[in-house]
Amino acid sequence: MISKILRSAVWYHGTPSLRSAQQIIKNGIVPLTGKRRSDKTGEPPSRRGRVYLTSDVSTAAGYAGPSGYVFVVPGSNLVEIEPDEDALLLLSISAMNDRSANMRDLQKLLRSRDSSSDSFFSDAIPEMNQKMIEWIVSMTSTLAHVGPVCPTHVYKIDGKKMTKQKYVAKLTASKPVAIDPACTGDYRGP
């Protein structure tokens, strides 16, 4: 069960692509069907069947780029969450001196894993309890939502300015839209 704190938060998802934005408006934010390989930055691969969200709008805007789209997802639309494995990597490095019980538990779990695996962090996630998952999400401001999720509206980024859009029938490059309140398609809501 997802805590009231995470359910009361606002979550964001950024995309630079008009085509992706149009698909999100039609179907909600639907997970990728394939698995992304690790890139040159050394970040772990994205997991199949996950939608990545952040509570930091500037992080989502960074993914959207200077002319992309930032979708808003109320925490009440979350169904099942896991830690974002990229954030888990950063947390494990940045909090090495953290001596809290939560961090000790996380370090113990990670030490029990095969560190040579490309899926080192994602392999550890099924062994995490809900308390640990929520602690990691609260520490990193990011999460992986299992399955599709429905946003409520979208912001169009124009340079460094984000503008909330009104409901319209269609999304075009010059006139982005808010999400249909019904959020049709593959959405699996609470």
- The answer to whether 153 touches 72, Cβ cutoff 8 Å, is yes
Any domain includes 181: no
Q: Is residue 160 part of a domain?
A: yes
Instruction: Name 93's Cβ contacts closer than 8 Å, sequence gap at least 6.
Output: none
* Contact partners, residue 129, CB within 8 Å, separation at least 6: none
Could you tell me if residue 136 is inside a domain?
yes
pTM: 0.77
| Partner residues linked to 50 by β-bridges | 146
93 within domain boundaries? yes
pLDDT above 50 (res 80): yes
Q: What DSSP character marks residue 70? A: E
pLDDT of residue 176: 38
For helices 130-140 and 101-111, angle between their N-to-C axes, nearest 10 degrees: 110
**According to the model, what pLDDT value does residue 54 have?**
96
Length of the chain: 190
pLDDT of residue 7: 92
Residue range 166-171: mean pLDDT, rounded: 35
As a whole number, mean pLDDT of residues 5-16 equals 93
How many domains does the chain contain in total? Answer: 1
pLDDT at position 116 over 50: yes
Mean pLDDT in residue range 23-51:
71
User: Would residue 185 count as lying in a domain?
Assistant: no
- Whole-number CA gyration radius for the chain: 17
pLDDT tens readout for residues 118-133: 566 777 888 888 888 8
The pLDDT, as a whole number, for residue 185 is: 40
Which residues, listed in sequence order, are joined to residue 153 by a DSSP beta bridge?
A: 72
* pLDDT 10s digits, 81-104: 998 888 877 777 766 667 777 777
Is residue 172 one of the residues assigned to a domain?
no
Mean pLDDT of 138-165: 81
Q: How far apart are CA 117 and CA 175, in angstroms?
A: 45
Instruction: Say if 171 falls within a structural domain.
Output: no
**Residue-range definition of the domain harbouring residue 141:** 4-164
Domain assignment present for 18: yes
